Chain A
Amino acid sequence: MQQPELTIPSKINVPLSALHKSRNGVNIHVINTPEYEVVRVSFVFHAGTRSQSHPFVASATANMLAEGSRDYTSQQLAEKLDYYGSYFDVNIDRDYAYITFCSLKKFFAQTSEVIEQIILHPTFPDKEVATYCAKRRQQLTIERRKVETRAREKFAQAIFGEEHPYGISYDEKEYDTITRCQIEDHYRRLYTAQNCMIVCSGSISDEVLQQITAIAEQIQSSSETFDDKIPSFHTTHSEIVKHDGALQSSIRMGRLLFPRTHADFIPMQVLATILGGYFGSRLMQNLRERNGFTYGVFSAMVNFQHTGYLAIATQVGKEVTQEALEQIAYEIDILRNEKVDEEELLLVKNIMAGEMMRILDGPFGIADVATENILCGFDNRHIQHNLERIRQTTPEEILSLAQKYLDPKDLVTVVVGDIE
């Protein structure tokens, strides 16, 4: 039988968020989807790793919020969340710390009591600090035996500069110097109303919103915020790091570009997808399918609050490291010299639209996208804008972007492996 007609969705319907403000100035963004009997609340603090005054303190603060509070031990907090089938999650990047709670709608009142303890009254007990630091130090030591971890860290240093807040990494020994005081100080300084926003989704009834607002209103106010100025970048274009005994070399290639708010961001995302953003991408076809150098190779745009970069990442057999680098350069060269085929571009556009729709299927995905949009100063109408921007991208535009941004002399290459 005949292949059915395809309709490429030109619109994604996403509910807009409503903005409420607590008396002490915390923005509470509400995406009410009452058809789902669950509640999710995220507290986003402008307290990522670049805000710390001592190595690893920002992540220690976020990760230890539930390790003991004014009224409960860590075991009691775990017990109380488990009892209502609720759970919570901590994420931290260079810019922000995200503390997220999920519960059934009918148990939100009980869960909010635990949220209050975790967000407002953490105590960071000495014993728990010591256990946490020992565990993390061990984990990081093991992590850094992997070529991909070292390449990721080295790449950030090469792109931004070794001492830059977006590039710096620390010796694992620094975990031994963390004190409870530093964590408490970080918490007092940055887990404040001025430094916080809240995004909630699912069944947000008036009652639930009141409970969330009540917590928000107790978040301490402070006139202090950290200096949000970004020092200038110092890019190094080539780094080779020797890693004895590695069977594979980890390769990172890319360049410093711009944040999500830049006019070329979306078309560069299209370009990154063509190059290495899906199973049948050019780099996958070349490095994996034709040459068997690797199990996988990817490329993507990576965002920060004030900037962003394009990265290509792969691990290849150590004996083919040089050939793999040449083939990546070859694929970049083709992008700079030949217009992408209309059919290939259409496939990529459809993959990207489908990916957006899948992320937005369900209240939690909608909240994630909304959070990202709000942090960039947009609202959910921006999703539609992005979709249209993807659709407008032409082969000519991809060619001219490749010529503009992928000049070999601007690229950064990092290789970590058992190579000379």
Chain B
Amino acid sequence: MIKYDITTLSNGLTVIANHDYASQMAAVNILYKVGARNEQPHCTGLAHLFEHLMFRGTHQIPDFDTPVQMACGENNAFTNNDYTDFYITLPKENIETAFWLESDRMTGLNLSEEACQIEKRVVIEEFRQRYLNQPYGDTNMLLRAMAYKVHPYRWATIGMSPDHIEKASIEEIHDFYRRFYHPSNAILSVSGDIPSQEVFRLAEKWFGSIEDPKYEIRPIPQEPEQKEARREVVERDVPATNITIAFHMGDRLSKEFFLGDITSDLLAGGDSARLYDRLIKQRSLFATVNAYISGDVDEGMFIFTCQLLPTTSEDEAEQAIWKEIEDLQRGNISDYELEKVKNKFEANTLFGELNVMNKAMNLGYYSMIGDLSLINREVDIYRSLSKDDIARFSQNIFRKENSSTLIYRAKNR
């Protein structure tokens, strides 16, 4: 249970405070509601490039890292398809330093041609290292392009191609900054031994005078219902064949999301879960096997993935996965097994609330998805789900015509 207070400044900045009485550290998280889904198809990867640019200093504070370290602090950031998140943890006495730095880079970023050029090179290297020069590195890109035809989820956060990053113009970068990095598109969340009123006072002091440009929010094109099974085979120089099957499922606030999450736990949460026990330990079909949800804000994916042992054929592998699916559709789930995954969910929720950084980050996230109170209700929602719910979910979602299958075949094997 995370207690919090929330307010909105007159410029539209959302501010959330959690008073943690135990910790000597404070965490300041600022989430911008912009991710790869807000990009235009001809200029992808910009949200992630921009995350990098946020560390290149401002006209006021040319070096971002040193003041954080001087304050005994540590900082980092990440970008995904839905949002971009920046966080600083530091001794609570120095919390104002974080407000100073974050409010400064909301407006005064140094977006010189030179700064952009250096950071583009770094990001293109990252693209090559993590996605192109890595066995199975393009799996996610291939899968997205197959499963989505319209929604911007059809490209990965890193972008569709290094070309897009290379070609991003200085005007596009400036426009991106103005359009998405302003108070009403941000959520500031703080956890630490600081009363909420003090957090709100500091937010007003440092962010209150930042003007909010009024930008219309471009609607995100939504994916039409998939009506036919999709399938793609690629051959690559990798040691073993991987098979991935993805199904469309509901958005972050739908009941389907929780059902998808709990179903993936039944299949693949922990050493005693179904897929590991049955397909690896008992039948020796796979080297690895997993089931998970993409966890997106808009309608997302439920994904099965497995790596075949040399003795397993592709047909056998697919059949084994579909057999597990049919088992769920028939409702073959014991009370004990369901109770197990609910307990595990509850425990992991609690283990995740032990430090200020996780709490600040979660408060920002739940506010971003549009239902902050969900942060304390999810355990009860999971507790209320039944075997019949899971069977029905499996019947609705795990249909051939809702599936995209990627065979990532090992060459010469």
Query: Which positions 83-130 of chain B face chain A at CB distance < 8 Å?
Result: 89-91, 93-94, 96-97, 99-100
Query: Which positions 327-344 of chain B face chain A at CB distance < 8 Å?
Result: 336, 339-340, 343-344
A407–B22 CA distance with the chains assembled, in angstroms: 46
List the A residue with the shortest CB-CB distance to B96: A4
Q: B69 and A363: CB pair below 8 A?
A: no
For A130, the chain B residues whose CB sits under 8 A away are: none
For A278, the chain B residues whose CB sits under 8 A away are: 69
Summarize B's interface: helix, strand, loop or mixed: helix
A84–B74 CA distance with the chains assembled, in angstroms: 34
List the B residue with the shortest CB-CB distance to A7: B93
Which of A3, A36, A280, A355 contacts B65, CB < 8 Å? A280
List the B residue with the shortest CB-CB distance to A3: B100
Known: A85-B343, A363-B354. A347 touches B22 (CB 8 A): no
List the B residue with the shortest CB-CB distance to A5: B96
Q: A350 and B70: CB pair below 8 A?
A: yes
Which of A83, A104, A353, A358 contacts B336, CB < 8 Å? A83
List the A residue with the shortest CB-CB distance to B357: A361
In the complex, how many residues of chain A place their beta carbon closer than 8 angstroms to a beta carbon of chain B?
Answer: 46
List the B residue with the shortest CB-CB distance to A79: B272
Known: A278-B69, A347-B70, A354-B91. A83 touches B340 (CB 8 A): yes
Which of A104, A350, A362 contacts B355, CB < 8 Å? A362
Residue B51 interfacial (CB < 8 Å): no
A362–B89 CA distance with the chains assembled, in angstroms: 13
For B65, the chain A residues whose CB sits under 8 A away are: 279-280
Residue B225 interfacial (CB < 8 Å): no
Query: Which positions 320-355 of chain A face chain B at CB distance < 8 Å?
Result: 346-347, 350-351, 353-355
Known: A9-B24, A84-B343. A102 touches B351 (CB 8 A): yes
Residue B73 interfacial (CB < 8 Å): yes
In the complex, how many residues of chain B place their beta carbon closer than 8 angstroms to a beta carbon of chain A?
Answer: 47
Known: A9-B93, A350-B70, A354-B69. A362 touches B354 (CB 8 A): yes
Residue B396 interfacial (CB < 8 Å): no
Query: Which positions 349-390 of chain A face chain B at CB distance < 8 Å?
Result: 350-351, 353-355, 357-358, 360-364
Convert A258-293 into 0s and 1s, putting 1 for each residue whose CB lies closer than 8 angstroms to a CB of B: 000000000000000000001110000000000000
Residue B195 interfacial (CB < 8 Å): no
Residue A62 interfacial (CB < 8 Å): no
Convert B258-290 into 0s and 1s, putting 1 for each residue whose CB lies closer than 8 angstroms to a CB of A: 000000000001111100010001000000000
A182–B69 CA distance with the chains assembled, in angstroms: 50
Q: A353 and B346: CB pair below 8 A?
A: no
Of B21, B99, B273, B351, most A-chain CB atoms within 10 Å: B351
Q: B348 and A85: CB pair below 8 A?
A: yes
Q: A364 and B69: CB pair below 8 A?
A: no
A414–B90 CA distance with the chains assembled, in angstroms: 37
Known: A1-B206, A6-B97. A82 touches B72 (CB 8 A): no
Q: B100 and A1: CB pair below 8 A?
A: yes
Residue B71 interfacial (CB < 8 Å): yes
For B343, the chain A residues whose CB sits under 8 A away are: 83-85, 107
Q: How far in angstroms is the closest Cβ of chain A from B354? A: 4
Query: Which positions 95-144 of chain A face chain B at CB distance < 8 Å?
Result: 102-104, 107
Known: A82-B270, A85-B344, A104-B346. A75 touches B351 (CB 8 A): no
Which of A33, A83, A350, A363 contacts B71, CB < 8 Å? A350
Of B65, B272, B336, B355, most A-chain CB atoms within 10 Å: B272
Residue A12 interfacial (CB < 8 Å): yes
Residue B25 interfacial (CB < 8 Å): yes
Of A1, A81, A103, A364, most B-chain CB atoms within 10 Å: A1
Residue A35 interfacial (CB < 8 Å): yes
A325–B90 CA distance with the chains assembled, in angstroms: 36
Which of B72, B96, B346 contacts A357, CB < 8 Å? B72
Residue B150 interfacial (CB < 8 Å): no
Residue A37 interfacial (CB < 8 Å): yes
Which of A4, A36, A87, A347 contacts B354, CB < 8 Å? A36
Name the 8 nearest CB pairs between A and B, nearest first: A85-B347, A354-B72, A4-B96, A7-B93, A78-B271, A79-B272, A78-B272, A82-B270
Sample of 5 further A-B pairs with CB below 8 A, known A3-B67, A353-B72: A6-B70, A84-B343, A85-B345, A86-B347, A280-B65
Interface pairs (24), CB distance under 8 Å: A6-B70, A8-B72, A12-B24, A75-B272, A75-B277, A78-B272, A81-B272, A82-B269, A82-B270, A82-B271, A82-B272, A83-B272, A83-B340, A85-B345, A86-B347, A278-B69, A346-B70, A350-B69, A350-B70, A354-B69, A354-B72, A354-B73, A357-B72, A361-B355
Q: A residues touching B (Cβ–Cβ < 8 Å)?
A: 1, 3-9, 12-13, 33, 35-38, 75, 78-79, 81-87, 102-104, 107, 278-280, 346-347, 350-351, 353-355, 357-358, 360-364
